[in-house]
Amino acid sequence: MFNTGTVFLVFLAYMAILFGIAQIVERSPRVSQYLASRPWVYALSITVYCTSWTFYGSVGMASREGLSYLPTYLGPTLMIGLWWVVLRKIVRIKEHRNITSIADFISARYDRSQGVAMIVTLIALLGTLPYIAIQLKAVVSSFSIISGGSTSQLDWGGLGLWTTGLLIAFTVLFGARRLDPTERHQGMMAALAVECVVKLVAFLAVGAFATFGLYGGFNGLFAALPAADLEQLTRVGSGDMAAYTRWMTVLFVSMAGILFLPRQFHTAVVENSDEQHIRTAIWLVPGYLLLISLFVVPLAAAGRAVGLPHEMADFYVLLLPLHADQQALSVLVFLGGLAAATGMIIVSSLTLATMSTNHLLVPLIDRFEGLYWLKRYLLPARWLSIAWILSISYLFARDVTEGHSLANIGMLGFCAALQFVPAIFGGLFWLKGNKAGALLGLGLGFLVWFYTLMVPLLAESGQLPISLVTEGLWGVWWLRPEALFGLDRFDSVTHSAFWSLFFNSAAYLLGSVFIRQQRSELEMAGSYVHALRYGTSGDIQHPAETGHIKKSEKIAEAQSLLSQYFSEKIARSKIRQITEGLGVLEKESLSAGELLRFHRELERVLAGSVGTAASHKAMKKHLSYSEVEHEQVSHVYASILTNLRLTPDELLERISYFEARDRIQREHAHELEARVAEREAEIRVRKQVEQKLEKTVQSQTLLNELLRITLEPVSLQDALGRALALVSRSSWLPTEPKGGIFLAQQERRQLEMVVQQGLDPKVQALCHKIDFGYCICGKAATAQEIIHTDSVDHQHTNCFEGMEDHGHYAVPITYEKRLLGVMILYLPAGHQQVQDESDFLEAVANVLGGLIQRDRTQKALLESETRLRNATGGESSIQ
Amino acid sequence: MLEKPEFPILVFVAGLLFFGWPLMEIARSLPPVGRLGYFFGAWTLVVVLYFLIFRRVR
């Protein structure tokens, strides 16, 4: 036995070595490049599939149920044979779309639906949390065993908390120190490969020790066992139909698990740097599984043979060397178990944290403007997610896993991953599989899985009432979680896998068949289904293009978009990387094709940090194409189309894609047109206001000038003449430079023209004197209102043969409602009356009225003075 | 023959038959060590076939 401090130091030293390896790889591009090109690193990292469930749990399972542990490894072995078709296709799609997680992969296929991404993330979260919990439980139990403690009373308050805290720190250090657009972590992969070697070596070492060291070989070992025990250890369960049903279920469920468990998807798909590496993985991973399973039965047999208690079978692997007092081997086995658990915990929590931030947090931020500031804190949010995931797993391990074997809880996660099968396989091989089908299938599958597997687990641990399991929901017997619709012949895993997959597949198929696929989904459906027909690089040969689109504007647009998620500096650096990669760094302008590629790369980079769904939405919201750009882009598409050799189906898909793109661009163009019209209306209003202001200023100036004339010591006739000239030549009045002013002779009820300007002699003769009520001027005098005419009409009584057509403003000049005269102005024929002009002429008439009245008053005063002087003999004068 | 793209699918189907019910009933009739030999032998065969099919870069 070892003391707790020593064990803790071993744990810390081991993690520090792993961290050191990861650091060396990440800091040295040469090492990183070397390892990235080694297929065995990739293949070994996929064996993170073998967790503490394999390392400790499979021996426990073999001890209880014989060979029932095998399908967990045989299923993946068979499925891996199809990877050259399935995984290669997924990897190629990942390369094209910058996929960062399984949620990203599924949602991208279904119109980048955030709803689909959210459901997948929830399934992954709820399915993986118990799985992480059993890893924590295994680590804490192994700590307890190696330091001589009990496994029935685990130290969750001390050891459990410390272990969880350290694992949070290591996970953040290993994989979440920065936001990586590719979500590839070469250092972490190298550390993971080392962990996989450690656990295999440890397991083979303890297996060899138990078989050959303790019993001199297989024969000796099996001979040491009673025949009944050997029979039981090499039988499938109890050998009845139920055992074989479970065997088949686990075989199929594990086929899904090897690729669709979130951590498996991450290592096999996201971390893949070369699709040729899949070839090595196809034989190396099953080989690894074979080797790590080889000594399971011998270890279970040895445990029994040396008399270890049955209830401790999950930890025979560690107990055997401890029992034989093999200290070095015990430490190696402890490290092997630690490697198995920590590898899974680190990759799983990292993957789940990425999914949670990208598909739960980012859509939430996008929905509420008040949370926009959080976009700059996605990395700390990811750290918090890791802490949250491991803390919940810790609580789950402490409160729920008691009394359950490692294998049973592990199966819960496998059944959750099974829910992805219809949506992924439908998406990869069926063009008509659509978003509605995926949403319905995943949603229903998730509900049934939760109800049939999670609810019983929570009820048994006291978190939910047990009556829910024994009597069913609302007491309805056919709603019992472990016997849904009365199906009680199967074990819980088979029961749950059957019903959840039944509802999931049926809803996916019916939804896809009966709910119409949106046209925007076709492009993605085509690119998924036909992924293997495209090249690995994903580049299409573009025709020679000339650039006319200002690069600076597009860079500014992209900068503004990326700045919402990254600091200014990082955003600038990412844009520089993209432009450098596209070879347009030094260019002033971009061609349409270059703009398309720039936007595509930008979306890929953003997708690496926030997921494809959120990235696509952000791109649509923030980036634009002008009408000219749209036209150029259309030309590029047309050229690409002519260069492509497509089948009619593919051509149809492509056309739908172009149509969708075209529609978006048209909508954008309409929006722009509406904005331009709005601006034009504003400009018109502003111009009208400006014109009005200018008129006001001009009329005010003119009136001031008139007032100045009235104050000058000139005769009335001179003053009226200058006033008429001023008014008729005003720049803003539409008057012609001719007109006249009449003074009223009240006694004779006549108007007499006193000044004129530019009038035809005939007119002067005709209009010298005009009776009140006669012609336009006489009518204006009678009515004492402005009269407007736009032509020589019936009102124009004074006219002669050959008179040119014209209009008039006849303005009565009054003083205190007393008619003093009339001013007649000429207008171009057809000019209509304008209120502003009438108001201004009225003001002019008032000034002229004041002028005439003052003249008359002065004359009356002079006359009075003369009369007074005559009466007093010339001695008096008025002062 | 191993280079034909259909071959991995054949291995998959054959493996499914060997490791699935009812063909695995054969194992039930065998003695304990024979059962282990049946499963691990078939498993090794599958791995070897995978290796032969995929070892070379085409």
Q: What does the block give as tokens for A588?
A: 């002033």
Contact A273, A267 (CB under 8 A): no
Chain B residue at shortest CA distance from A73: B43
The span from the first CA to the last CA of chain B, in angstroms, equals: 14
A251 with B20: Cβ contact below 8 A: yes
pLDDT of residue A703: 86
User: CA A500, CA A442: separation in Å to the nearest integer?
Assistant: 9
3-state secondary structure of A823: strand
- Please state, in angstroms and rounded to a whole number, the distance separating the CA atoms of residues A31 and A24: 8
Q: Under an 8 A CB cutoff, do B33 and A234 touch?
A: yes
Q: Cβ contacts (< 8 Å) between B54 and chain A: which residues?
A: 84, 279-280, 282-283
Q: Pick out chain A residues at pLDDT < 70.
A: 150-152, 177-184, 401-408, 534-548, 627-628, 635-660, 874-879
Which of A247, A251, A290 is nearest residue B44 as measured by Cβ atoms? A290
User: How far apart are alpha carbons A82 and A93 in whole angstroms?
Assistant: 17
Q: How many CB atoms lie within 10 A of CB A683?
A: 10
**Residue A72 half-sphere exposure, CB side, CA atoms within 13 Å?**
28
DSSP string, A109-128: HTTT-HHHHHHHHHHHHHHH
* Distance from the A239 Cα atom to the nearest Cα atom in chain B, whole angstroms: 8
Three-state SS for A468-503 is: HHHCCHHHCHHHCCCCHHHCCCCCHHHHHHHHHHHH
Amino acid at A220: G
Do A4-520 and A712-869 share a fold? no
At A653 the pLDDT is: 63
Instruction: Please tell me which of the candidates B8, B24, B27 has its beta carbon nearest to residue A84.
Output: B8
Domain locations in chain A? 4-520, 521-661, 712-869
| Identity of the amino acid at A478 | W
Instruction: Give the closest of A218, A280, A286 to B47, CB-based.
Output: A286
B50: chain A residues, CB-CB within 8 Å: 80-81, 282-283, 286
Q: Which letter does DSSP use for residue A236 in this model? A: B
Give the C-alpha separation, B37 to B29, whole Å: 13
d(CA A697, CA A485): 90
Residues of chain A with Cβ-Cβ distance to B32 below 8 Å are 222, 230-231, 233-234
Chain A nearest-CA residue for B29: A235
Show the CA angle centred on residue A397, arms to residues A396 and A400, nearest 5°.
Answer: 60
The H-assigned helical ranges of A400-466 are 406-418, 421-429, 435-449, 455-460
| Residue range A712-869, CATH number | 3.30.450.40
- Joined together, the tokens standing for residue A663 give 């529609």
Does the pTM of the predicted model rise above 0.90? no
Q: What's the pLDDT score for residue A646?
A: 58
CA-nearest of A514, A497, A496 to A437 is A514
- Nearest chain B residue to A227 by CA distance is B32
**Quick check: A81 and B8 CB within 8 A?**
yes
* pLDDT reported for residue A657: 67
- Under a CB-based contact definition with an 8 Å cutoff, are residues A811 and A780 in contact? yes
- Counted residue by residue, chain A has a size of 879
Distance (Å, whole) CA A778 – CA A772 = 4
ipTM for the predicted complex comes to 0.94
3-state helix/strand/coil string of chain B: CCCCCCHHHHHHHHHHHHHCCCCCHHHHCCCHHHHHHHHHHHHHHHHHHHHHHHCCCC
Residue A543, pLDDT score: 46
Tens digits of residue pLDDT in A600-650: 888 888 887 777 778 888 887 777 777 667 777 776 666 665 556 555 556
For the segment B2-21, the average pLDDT, to the nearest whole number, is 82
Of B8, B32, B47, the CB nearest to A290: B47
Q: Supply the CATH classification number for the domain A4-520.
A: 1.20.1730.10
Name every chain B residue with its beta carbon within 8 A of the beta carbon of A239: 28
Q: φ and ψ at A87, to 5 degrees?
A: -65, -40
Mean pLDDT over each residue of chain A, to the nearest integer: 85
Instruction: Name the 3-class secondary structure at A813.
Output: strand
User: pLDDT tens for residues A426-460?
Assistant: 999 998 889 999 999 999 999 999 999 888 888 88
- Pair B53, B2: CB distance under 8 Å: yes
Closest CA to A407 of A11, A44, A73: A73
Counting Cβ atoms within 10 Å, is residue A481 exposed (0-12), middle (13-18) or buried (19+)? buried
